[in-house]
């Protein structure tokens, strides 16, 4: 089969003819139609993501959508011809989705949302699992809550806005003025991060009480700001990029709580993979009810233009999630 292979860190991916995998016990062979490109994929290629533990040569690509070609022993949840999507590889020793086929753990898969095309479905898994683990699993988002999403026009942030809204929360999102139309279209109230202080937007939108949930998708100073924007006692801050050193004093003085999300953990350890599949099943229901859609870059990329796709993601010039057409 054709695959895009990382032969050494920092080098462009190379198209290679590699053996088609055979599904083992508990695995499904997926004929891949589309592969989503995440910022983390570009960091892995550059050798700047030690937490992903990739050893070249490796096939990259974490998100996929495709069709079940074959099932391995012990797989009852899927059968030949099923359309599926998932966050399935491209980290650790797991083969990625920039290939014609992948043998993946069936627990990481879910039926593709019927309302979405393959390209749309392939844009969702990493963002959906990250946002769901933070908002639903950790923070228990629900009706009537005020939720602040930092970076609501980004890949994870845009999905977080929609998941919080679907659970009945009133959602706000920081962004620059050029992102306001996107944020409003997703159902959130935009906050100008370039012009309004934390104190001012907390006063304006929460009467000075703070937000019930603050979801950070940026890290660094934005996570520090989150600690001062959260509600006293019952507030909860969640971050997908809480990897630096931060003072917990602002959070502690509010009696609030914090959770970190490391989405790759089940893929790297093998523990908790069933929950990834469960999240994607519930997300598919939201998509089929028109409550969840990816922000998709309209341009079409293939194996021949993977390098360009990675450059667009690295430089932040994409207008939505970039997806590679595989089939």
Q: Is the pLDDT of residue 53 over 90?
A: no
What is the C-alpha end-to-end distance of the chain, expressed in Å?
Answer: 12
**Where in the chain is CATH 3.90.180.10?**
2-123+286-325
Quick one: average pLDDT of 126-148?
A: 98
Quick one: average pLDDT of 44-59?
A: 94
Half-sphere exposure of 51 (CA within 13 A, CB side): 10
Superfamily grouping for domain 2-123+286-325? Medium-chain alcohol dehydrogenases, catalytic domain (3.90.180.10)
Q: Is 20 exposed, middle or buried (0-12, 13-18, 19+ CB in 10 A)?
A: middle
Confidence class for position 207, pLDDT limits 50, 70, 90:
very high
Cα angle 24, 27, 29; round to 5: 95
Q: Phi and psi at residue 306, in whole multiples of 5°?
A: -60, -40
The predicted model scores a pTM of 0.97
Average pLDDT score over the chain: 97
Quick one: average pLDDT of 71-96?
A: 98
Q: Is the pLDDT of residue 327 over 90?
A: no
- What percent of the chain shows pLDDT beyond 70? 100
Instruction: Report yes or no: 45 and 28 within 8 Å, Cβ to Cβ.
Output: no
pLDDT tens digits for range 112-122:
999 999 999 99
Look at the chain and count its residues. Answer: 327
CATH 3.40.50.720 fits 127-260, yes or no: yes
**Where in the chain is CATH 3.40.50.720?**
127-260
Quick one: average pLDDT of 270-283?
A: 98
Confidence class for position 185, pLDDT limits 50, 70, 90:
very high
Q: Is the pLDDT of residue 213 over 90?
A: yes
Quick one: average pLDDT of 238-254?
A: 93
pLDDT at 259: 96
Nearest to 130 by CA among 198, 47, 39, 210: 39
Q: Is the pLDDT of residue 22 over 90?
A: yes
Q: Is the pLDDT of residue 32 over 90?
A: yes
- What distances in angstroms separate CA 64 from CA 12, 68, 103, 126, 165, one per listed residue? 20, 12, 12, 10, 25
- What percent of the chain shows pLDDT beyond 90? 97
What CA–CA distance (Å, rounded) separates 190 from 132?
Answer: 21
């Amino acid at each position: 089969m054709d695959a895009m292979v990382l032969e050494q860190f920092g080098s462009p991916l190379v198209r290679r003819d590699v053996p088609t995998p055979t599904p083992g016990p508990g695995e499904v062979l997926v004929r891949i139609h589309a592969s989503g490109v995440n910022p983390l994929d570009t960091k892995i290629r550059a050798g700047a993501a030690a937490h992903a533990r990739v050893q070249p040569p490796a096939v990259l690509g974490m998100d996929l959508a495709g069709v079940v070609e074959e099932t391995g022993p012990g797989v009852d949840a899927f059968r030949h011809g099923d359309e599926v999507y998932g966050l399935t590889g491209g980290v650790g020793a797991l083969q990625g989705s920039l290939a014609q086929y992948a043998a993946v753990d069936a627990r990481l898969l879910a039926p593709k949302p019927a309302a979405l095309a393959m390209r749309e479905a392939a844009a969702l898994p990493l963002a959906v699992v990250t946002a769901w683990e933070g908002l639903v699993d950790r923070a228990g988002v629900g009706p009537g809550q005020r939720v602040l999403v930092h970076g609501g026009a980004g890949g994870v942030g845009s999905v977080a806005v929609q998941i919080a809204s679907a659970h009945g929360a009133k959602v706000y999102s920081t962004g620059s003025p050029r992102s306001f139309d996107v944020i409003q279209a997703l159902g959130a109230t935009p906050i100008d991060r370039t012009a309004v202080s934390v104190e001012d937007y907390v006063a304006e939108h929460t009467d000075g009480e703070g937000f019930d949930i603050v979801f950070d998708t940026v890290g660094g100073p934005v996570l520090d700001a989150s600690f001062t924007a959260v509600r006293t006692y019952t507030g909860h801050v969640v971050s997908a990029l809480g990897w630096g050193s931060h003072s917990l004093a602002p959070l502690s003085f509010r009696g609030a709580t914090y959770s970190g999300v490391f989405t790759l953990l089940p893929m790297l350890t093998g523990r908790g993979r069933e929950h990834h599949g469960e999240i994607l099943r519930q997300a598919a229901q939201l998509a089929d009810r028109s409550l969840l859609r990816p922000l998709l870059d309209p341009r079409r990329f293939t194996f021949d233009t993977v390098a360009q796709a990675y450059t667009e993601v690295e430089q932040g010039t994409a207008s939505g999630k970039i997806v590679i057409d595989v089939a």
